Amino acid sequence: MIDLPGSDASVRPNAQAVLDADDTTLGRRTHWAVELLTTPETPRDEDLSGNFVPAFLARHPQGFAATLEQWRGQGRFTVTDYQPVAHKSWVTLEGPTGSRSTLSLTLDSTGLIRVLHLGPEVVTPPVRAWSDLARALEQPGVTWSALVTRTDGGSAETLYAKDADRPMPNGSSYKLYLMRALAEAVATGAVRWDDEVTVTPALRSLPTGDMQELPDGTRVPVRETAYKMIAMSDNTAADLIQDLLGRDAVERAVVDGGHSDPALLRPFLTSHEVFEIGWGASELRAGWAASDEAGRRRLLERIAGPITVRGSDLGPTVHQLGLDWHMSAWDVARVLGALVEDGVRDASGVVNAVLTAYPGVPIDSARWPRAVFKGGSCPGVMMFCWLLEDAGGVRYTIVLQQCADDQKLIGDGQFLRGVGGRVIESSLLSGTSR
């Protein structure tokens, strides 16, 4: 069984030793980050630059050392849990008063720290029955849906469903359709994994990811771009893939992927376009909301060019205007299943490698030899989905969706991710009870 950060069992007497022994790049960076909170003197900003991407320190104009001093002021920390997952890690820290915090860290593709955050530990309740899942997700002001299915050969069963037919905004899970369209293009020979895409100002988006920081004219193999799009949810990578394939090809993938109402995803937006319309000039939002599909396509033509919106401009939620990618939980489950089948057919193994590169939470690989994950978020939107396959080939799909008019009600996703992890570590995925 895997104990998640925030679980009752996530206090491990040997957690510090496990962290000390992790000689991977992620382990070394995490160990260094923990030491920042315990060294006798606060490091200077000039001493930090070798471990962080430049964009991280640029987000702290007053110097990151000042933030570190605030963190260190909470007292001497003890490591009680360490959870590394691909390019991310979570360390549970206990202060002298017994209060617990989570230090979360994300590496970029070069192995430098892109995200480092210390906040109060987010505790997720146990999920031992489907009623526990419903109680965990039922929060004032938050609309949610959930779906858990079991597929054994030709036999499919719904283990749990709550509003699973209702289309909801999903954030970055739209990249699943891009991956399907790319797999199809590779299968037909229209695209090769070793082909390259080129970073240009018109295709540069905002984080998540790091490809937006590459110099103009940088050429990146399609294989690497696809990995970043799925495993690191890189927005610029997704936009480069969509530019390579064409919007029409992705819209066909939506239909082929079994979306219940493909018109909701026409025109199929890039992340760049959502950012530009959603948080750019107000007349763009008004024009989008008032237009039919043809008018919206004309609007997208007018805004083509370098992005003018900055990350700091993001604020009010815009998914109510259709500025997101709307999918029901069943839609997500269908495209996940179709993608896994794409991976089975792909002789190169690239599709499967991309899909399984980042499982989202710690996964017991003995129980789940194959684990596919995708998360998605926008202001007021959070979703996580998994497709897990056991050693016998039985597949389980989990889809959790949240949205709200107020971003504060959604948070940073640690709670919803933790709830998903609770379902995965429970015994609910071994039975047939609804």
Most confident segment among 61-75, 109-123, 225-239: 225-239
| pLDDT one-digit tens code per residue, 49-94 | 889 998 888 887 777 888 888 898 887 899 999 999 999 999 999 9
What average pLDDT score do residues 1-13 get?
48
Least confident of 48-52, 150-154, 296-300, 401-405: 48-52
Give the closest residue to 280 by CA, choosing from 254, 306, 314: 314
Of residues 326 and 64, the one with the higher pLDDT is 326
User: Half-sphere exposure (CA, 13 Å, Cβ side) for 389?
Assistant: 17
Average pLDDT over residues 294-317: 96
pTM value is 0.93
User: How much is the average pLDDT of 209-217?
Assistant: 95
* pLDDT classification of 175: cutoffs 50, 70, 90: very high
SS3 of residue 92 by DSSP: strand
| pLDDT band, very low/low/confident/very high, at 239 (cuts 50, 70, 90) | very high
What span, in angstroms and rounded, lies between the C-alpha atoms of 393 and 391?
Answer: 6
SS (H, E, C) 349-364: CHHHHHHCCCCCCCCC
pLDDT reported for residue 431? 53
DSSP states of 99-136: -EEEEEEEE-TTSSEEEEEEEE-------SSHHHHHHH
Alpha helices (H) along 151-202: 175-188
**Least confident residue range of 47-51, 232-236, 266-270, 417-421:** 47-51
Nearest of 55, 26, 85 to residue 375 by alpha carbon: 85
Spatial separation of the C-alpha atoms in residues 314 and 309, rounded to whole Å: 8
Average pLDDT value over all residues in the chain: 93
Return d(Cα 355, Cα 343) in angstroms, integer.
Answer: 8
Asked whether residue 4 carries a pLDDT value surpassing 60, the answer given is no
Average pLDDT over residues 186-208: 97
Phi-psi region of 219 (alpha: psi -120 to 50; beta: other; left: phi over 0): beta
Exposure string over 295-306, b if 16+ CB within 10 A, otherwise e:
ebeebbeebeee
**From the candidate CATH numbers 3.40.190.10, 3.40.50.11540, 3.10.450.280, 3.20.20.80, the one assigned to the domain spanning 15-120:** 3.10.450.280
Token pair recorded at residue 16? 């510090």
| pLDDT of res. 377 | 96
The predicted structure's pLDDT at residue 41: 76
Average pLDDT over residues 384-413: 96
Q: What are phi and psi of 45, to 5 degrees?
A: -60, -35
Indicate the CATH number for domain 127-271+315-434.
Answer: 3.40.710.10
User: Residue 12 — pLDDT band, cuts 50, 70, 90?
Assistant: low
- CB–CB of 377/383 below 8 Å? yes
The C-alpha atoms of residue 357 and residue 234 are separated, in whole angstroms, by 14
Domain residue limits, the chain: 15-120, 127-271+315-434
